[in-house]
Amino acid sequence: MEILRCSHLKKSYGSGSGKVTALNDVSFSLERGSFTAIVGASGSGKSTLLHMLGGVDRPTSGNIYIEDTDISTLKPEQLAAFRRRKVGLVYQFYNLIPTLNVRKNILLPVLLDNQKPDEKRFQQLTEALGLTERLSHLPSELSGGQQQRVAIARSLIYHPAILLADEPTGNLDRKNSQETIELLKLSNQRYGQTILLITHDEKTALEADRIITLEDGKIVHDEVTG
Ligand SMILES: Nc1ncnc2c1ncn2[C@@H]1O[C@H](COP(=O)(O)OP(=O)(O)O)[C@@H](O)[C@H]1O
Ligand SMILES: [Mg+2]
């Protein structure tokens, strides 16, 4: 079953002679429970694509459906709420709130929604990610690998329809990178979490079941791996 579909996505920045076309007619869909990698040279449009799919920014034209919602029809406040509940976002530099402890960082999407935390979900995630001893620490008191695990826990707290990760291991050493990818795979294999992962590392891309290659804002390869 399809969980995400984008059709004829275009994104341009600037205008006139300074105009850059970052995405040029990108269409594809993702099956529920799939693990897909996006690869491509720097500047090929990978981050732009993720921002469009995650509702962080809007495309110049084209449509994005997530679980049958056309996100281009949502008003800004609706889009913000949709993003909090349905899309998990993980970035290279963690994007944690420095003044909030680990527990509050993980629960942030829920607290912003004025919802009561699902303590069982919280406990499951923090145990699986090895964070139970760190819940009252500030991000600055954690290693890079631990900070990224907090960001992953935050992205998964709501059972999102899709987890979007942009070079999540780009700032980590090899051991922490491997662990982070293993945790993403575990959430995919054990819990059926749908994942779209940007990476420039071929070995990491091979962990996915499908690899989409971008070049100059277009899909040039789309292959199912082993
Ligand atoms: N906010 C922006 N303003 C202007 N140009 C941008 C902006 N964001 C990205 N671009 C341009 O769009 C193209 C694609 O960028 P990006 O999606 O960041 O590529 P990647 O993540 O694959 O390195 C690049 O040419 C980049 O310079
Ligand atoms: Mg990028």
75 CA to centre of ligand 2 in angstroms? 26
Residue 26, phi then psi, degrees to nearest 5: -100, 125
Nearest CA, atom 14, ligand 1: 45
Domain locations along the chain: 2-13+20-224
pLDDT digits 0-9 by tens, 13-54: 999 999 999 999 999 999 999 999 999 999 999 999 999 999
Q: What is the pTM of this model?
A: 0.95
Q: Would you state the pLDDT for residue 37?
A: 98
Question: Which ligand 1 atom lies nearest to the CA of residue 217?
Answer: 14
Nearest CA, atom 26, ligand 1: 43
pLDDT digits 0-9 by tens, 92-128: 999 999 999 999 999 999 999 999 999 999 999 999 9
What tokens appear for 44 in the block?
Answer: 């090929």
Average pLDDT over residues 149-176: 95
Q: Would you state the pLDDT for residue 85?
A: 93
Question: Which ligand 1 atom lies nearest to the CA of residue 45?
Answer: 17
CATH number of 2-13+20-224: 3.40.50.300
Question: Mean pLDDT, the chain, as a whole number?
Answer: 95
| β-strands 69-70, 61-66 pairing | antiparallel
Question: Which ligand 1 atom lies nearest to the CA of residue 44?
Answer: 22
**Cα separations (Å) of 201 from 37, 65, 89, 174?**
10, 28, 19, 12
Which residues are bridge partners to 23 per DSSP?
11
